[in-house]
A and B are shown apart, each in its own frame.
Chain A
Amino acid sequence: MAPAVPRSGDAIFANVERVNSELFTLTYGAIVRQLLTDLEEVEEVNKQLDQMGYNIGIRLIDEFLAKSNVTRCVNFRETAEVIAKVGFKMFLGVTATVTNWDSEGTSCSLILEDNPLVDFVELPETCQGLYYCNILSGVVRGALEMVSMKTEITWVRDMLRGDDAFELQVKLLKQVPEEYPYKDDE
């Protein structure tokens, strides 16, 4: 029996083109800072970061599928494991752990203890209410939507708010059936 799903993204991460994470981290920080200046409302910044993430996720899923050779996951549990161990690793170079499953197997938490987005970051008092890493939840939501899963993603814990880890709750809302036949000429 062939191992259908890679259990780790280490090998893929080792083979992709990589950049210095400082450039990435500081660029993200500069975006958040500029959005706070331009949009003024923290709520609106959260919304826009999520939207940016969503836009990235719907594109990144293609690269993920192409490079990871992941085939169809048998259930949402497997999907969550693949995101945590392969997806996060392959792009951000870190892995998440999956925990806090509900009894139906449709809701779980992704826990990140190491998160390159927040290196050097401290939130000032005026930014209470900001979900600094909201782009990440948008990416996961966008990527899953492209493989027919509608999800709702919320931050449960946030190290920038004093928690001991980042915890993203991922709730599967519904699985959209794929439509056949695909139109070949589009």
Chain B
Amino acid sequence: MVREVSESCMDSLLTEIVSSYCNRFYANKPELAARRIEAIGYQVGHQLSERYTMERPRFSDHLEAIKFICKDFWSELFKKQIDNLKTNHRGTFVLQDNKFRWLSRMSGDPSMELSNAAQDPSAMPENKTAQATGMHLYFPCGIIRGALSTLGIPCAVSADISNLPACSFVVRIKV
């Protein structure tokens, strides 16, 4: 049987990572806080993908590895698969989760504020909700990057939440 803990435990940790790094350790340096939060995610992704691929044959190409992230890996983490996968066939993949679990508990109305922020990036720093949401997303971005790097695919990962509650992770493979 798979060992489980209450989802609140995971939510609480995630909230505390973000608030510790953004409000205590690097209060005035959001870029540094973001990098640390991403690094924690990277470590988690690295270890999880090692565990989940132990008994698998090597992936034959990038697409196979990405599909593994979308299906098996995502299911282990969120009990659902990525809903939509797109690629430009030149090393960019967009993984869309139509209802991303780690955003569903955020308070405020991030969709409204974020769409404003998207139009006017200079408004970002004053927009606390949008900023906090952005900070939360460095963690899953790090997880995906860590998982793919472990599978031999160095990449950059960013998140796009212009269609909340959907969240798209954009993976750009480095060549």
Residues of A within 8 A of B (CB): 13, 16-24, 26-31, 33-34, 38-39, 48, 51-52, 55-56, 59-60, 63, 90-93, 116, 119
B20 touches A92 (CB 8 A): no
Q: Which of A17, A48, A63 has the most CB of B within 10 A?
A: A17
Return 12 A-B CB contacts under 8 Å, by A number. Answer: A16-B6, A17-B6, A17-B8, A19-B4, A21-B5, A22-B48, A23-B76, A24-B13, A27-B44, A29-B43, A30-B40, A30-B47
The 7 closest A-B pairs by CB, nearest first: A30-B43, A18-B4, A17-B7, A21-B3, A56-B12, A52-B16, A30-B40
Quick check: is B2 within 8 A (CB to CB) of the other chain? yes
Query: Which of A24, A29, A48, A60 meets B5, CB within 8 Å?
Result: A24
Inter-chain contact count A-B, CB under 8 Å? 101
B44 touches A19 (CB 8 A): no
Contact-size category for B: 20 to 34
Quick one: closest A residue to B78, CB to CB? A19
> Complex Cα distance A30/B4, Å?
18
B12 touches A27 (CB 8 A): no
Quick check: is B175 within 8 A (CB to CB) of the other chain? no
Render B50-72 as a binary contact track against A, CB cut-off 8 A, 1 for contact: 01000000000000000000000
Residues of B within 8 A of A (CB): 2-10, 12-17, 19-20, 24-25, 36, 39-41, 43-44, 47-48, 51, 76-77, 79
Q: Which of B3, B20, B24, B48 has the most CB of A within 10 A?
A: B3
Chain A residues positioned under 8 Å from B9 (CB to CB): 19, 24, 91-92
